[in-house]
Structure 1
């Protein structure tokens, strides 16, 4: 028996014909009978699959290469329970709804709970590009797909640029079924502008939807309007207010199967809700371009630290580090030098977590001793190291990209956007994550993706004179929520936050003194940084109030 969900595509014309004549499940059945688990080589796109093979007494569950369709599971005796959500798996009467201490720690560390674990003690989820298989009572997880980065030396930039534009347009076309009821998210950044632009070429009456904030440094509506004018798109706008957050957060926070602390979930929800109210049933999201073509600031930043390792060891160890570490004083330039050397001496991927709350503050400061006694505080870094080291023959940049396919996309942004669209009643597709684009990105040399600190170098060069120049030059921002800034003056937000932290004091998880200290850090320190800390704690409390028992 085979069950298949999603919108897969077939690499074989024969299997595509069977799919059209019968069903996707029918095509996969033919492929499985002929090729066994190698049938996955012929399947691409967003999907999840369950295969029950009575001949070999084997059950296999598969999620797609980028984790667009998640699968949760739990072993029960000699059997296994699968579901597309944790709540679905929890519906089985033998599975207890018990939280993991490590799951709570993971949430505070990552602001979500990453695969392969979950917040629940007896439930796991399948990472992107993996399957789990139950055979003769033994359960095994297998990584069935890894990218093969085949960087082309001496690549012809002009021909690569033409290929990119053609692939982008076909990816938008593939992601759309009814142009009349399809719209796009539009932040005004590279990817949402790209998707919107090609949607407008395919459908002259295209609609786009954008969210703004009345907060300095957060509002990108001006860039969304530039893109909309450039492509002649009907732009629909909504400005999120602090009152919107107070009203919507308790609903949004508790709607997730696991605590989810990415604050941009709220603007994604309001954008999808706006689209639904305007007759849209499917939205095209721009997520993924930065992770395929090197658009995140941390990629460029690592090059600065990697350069330090090229300084001869004796100079670093016997001269530079002793001078900086022992020089008297505590002032700006010296502190930056100390921070630089400390980060440069920290290997990847650990260095990516330099500004994590649980690296800026010790776990013992944040959590109670009783709670920490049940937690492996080294597990998050170990999990990240295993993911980072997985690709073979990959450059530092490409390792970071693959790393982000799991932690930034599958476990975070895709989970955020897909669920918020579902709550709003809108389907979402991801043209930038079309597997034709994914395969193409593997060919682009690292020094073209990121050149001299210039993020998305190749991508920007390829789309110059097609995208607005303001979009090309724009600094990456996204739908970031100005919660920490708003909380400084908005009393209802303060009350919601303070009440939530007060309720957290009733748990055995946190040091109560730190919860008070977090509020002071927000008031007197970096409002945006510590506002995010208060946000994730507030979301955790709201979620636990509904789901913990």
Structure 2
């Protein structure tokens, strides 16, 4: 795992080797083992290396092709590189290193941009073709590795993180207001936007070609649900088990110590079980717990660790979050507010003490329908189909307002349900899962900001993904939507930044694109059956995981936000979001912020999620925008 960055000199004389080194230094944490730069008359490239394969100098980057006509900086891992290398050797190619990086160079030399069709892994790379005078930049199919780029008035730069681009002189930091609106709705900024107006994300499964005429962006893969398999459930179980065993074993190839995140949930437990089956030595496992039993899964993780006799490490997050929160948040260079970033940071810190590579269970919920929200959505959609559309649209908003008067969670849930039912399925899915209601946004936002955003609404991001989905049923469409939005913009960003904060590589077997394509072909009734989430995956893992764990209620990587804001985080938050010159006050009314803060402190209402988003925005603003 590494960090990459660079700039174009086609139209703008950007900088020199010192500039490239500064870009690399900004993302030092992604690769502390080695660094390198490349600079010619048209392109500058830099690389920070975290050594995983071929720990010798032969693995350093930038790396050149044998004929010296290609040069690459690469972040990630190609899991099928050994098979690709063998094929290339049969064609007469010789290799100087044992790295997957050299395989990409050789494959591109033969197949050009079509090389992407053969690469299976997590990656973002920039490859400079000196003969063609073209820069080829690509990102993996599901977006596990990040790639940002800056483009304005002939200037072009890119980096694994925004902070590498900001290391250049005179990069404007103008904030996108629609991205701010997105952030408070989703807790992240969705691609291809970033929080800055002139910095963008290269979307997953896309590549870019840059030359003297400018740049173009192309999609090279998409996940399709339309080709439903009609094989038996038993056949699907056999096929999925074999596939998961294969991709897990592929991700255990490493020249450095390797282990696993173990939450005690179905997916991470299943991955650990398969690692244990494939390994002659005890698997190293790492778990995070909380003092609050409602959020603590350490006991469940310990049960799996004991079953498979792993070398188990535990860390309990005591009331010490405030003293480290600013440091933790600094690794996100745009606002990000998924609260599970906190335990992910700590489990990564714990894992790095024992290993350099950790396997994780990410992807199971999105691929196989594991979230509780899929049950909620199933109920909503069944109810939606029982009422004529004109009745839903006319009557339910009124009923929602009445439900909102009811106290506590009953009123909140009733209002959300009725609001959702009054809309079509895509908008309903957005309403149920957005983190800030339209009413809350409208009550907080300043009139001048609202006026600038009068023609924009964050739901379009969800609706566009839902409408692009080609699945035969509603569940397929919302799984596609989550894979393309929530998983890419939230889950994978969180894991990348928090693991890279500790120079730890995280690999997710269930996120292999072959698993994704297989899951997309499985009928929805084998993923979600009579209220049972992740049905097929649980059937595969049943021989490996006790039923008491397999069928317990999902907890997720949650945090006690409401309690934190009345306790440990109270002083920190009050000092940041209520101060007179807070960046938050350029978006929201100071009076309204004070109002919901006071409601939360008096226990009148719980505003933990909204307050957390405000705190994350303000911490980001002070470091990157002020």
Give the deviation of 1:375 after TM superposition: 3.4
Q: Does 1:500 align with 2:576?
A: yes
5+ unaligned residues in a row in structure 2: which ranges? Answer: 1-69
The corresponding residue for 2:500 is: 422
Shift of 1:138: 4.5
- The 5 Å alignment of 1:137-176 reads 137-176=213-252
Comparing both structures, which one devotes a greater share of its residues to helix? 1
- Alignment partner, residue 483 of structure 1: 561
Change (3 A) 1:367 1:32: same
The yes-or-no answer on 1:432 pairing with 2:522 is no
What is the correspondence of 1:292-371 to structure 2 with a 5 Å cutoff? Answer: 292-311=367-386, 313=388, 316=391, 340-355=417-432, 356-371=434-449
In the alignment, is residue 125 of structure 1 matched against residue 216 of structure 2? no
**Is contact 1:179–1:206 with CA below 8 Å preserved after alignment?**
no
Q: 1:153 to 1:414 in 2, by over 3 A?
A: closer
Matches within 5 A, 1:205-284: 205-242=282-319, 244-277=320-353, 279-284=354-359
- Displacement after TM superposition at 1:384 (Å): 2.2
**Structure 1 position 357, deviation (Å):** 4.5
Structure 1 residue aligned with 2:122, among 24, 28, 46?
Answer: 46
Partners of 1:329 and 1:176 lie apart in 2 by 51
How many residue pairs match? The answer is: 544
Aligned to 2:612: 535
Report Cα offsets for 1:297-353 as digits up to 9, x if no partner. 122222222223433638956998699689999668999766544312322332233
What is the CA-CA distance between 1:258 and the residue it aligns to?
Answer: 1.4
TM-score, normalised by the number of residues in structure 2 = 0.79
- Cα displacement (A) at 1:28: 4.0
The structural deviation recorded for 1:153 is 4.9
| Offset, 1:16 | 4.9
Q: Secondary structure at the match of 2:242?
A: helix
Report the Cα distance in structure 2 between the residues aligned to 1:398 and 1:523, rounded to whole angstroms. Answer: 41
Q: Greater CA deviation, 75-84 or 517-526? A: 517-526
**What is the distance in 1 between the residues matched to 2:598 and 2:455?**
26
Q: How far has the Cα of 1:197 moved from its partner?
A: 1.2
Contact 1:261 1:536 in 2 (8 A): yes
The aligned residue for residue 546 of structure 2 is: 468
5+ residue gaps in structure 1? none
Residue 182 of structure 2 corresponds to 106
* Aligned 8 A contact 1:324 1:337 in 2: no
Q: Which moved more, 1:207-216 or 1:334-343?
A: 334-343
Give, in angstroms, the shift of residue 540 of structure 1: 1.5
CA-based RMSD: 3.2
- Cα deviation 1:271-296 (Å, max 9, x = unaligned): 1212223x222111111111111101
Shift of the alpha carbon at 1:210? 0.9
Q: Deviations over 1:368-406 (max 9, x none)?
A: 122333336624222222222223344322222222223
Cα distance in structure 1, aligned partners of 2:403 and 2:244 = 55
**Structure 1 Cα separation of the partners of residues 484 and 403 of structure 2:** 43
Normalised to the residue count of structure 1, the TM-score between the two structures is 0.89
Choose 357-366 or 443-452, whichever is displaced more.
Answer: 357-366
User: Retained in 2: the 8 A contact 1:151–1:446?
Assistant: no
Of the three residues 513, 529, 533, the one matched with 1:455 is 533
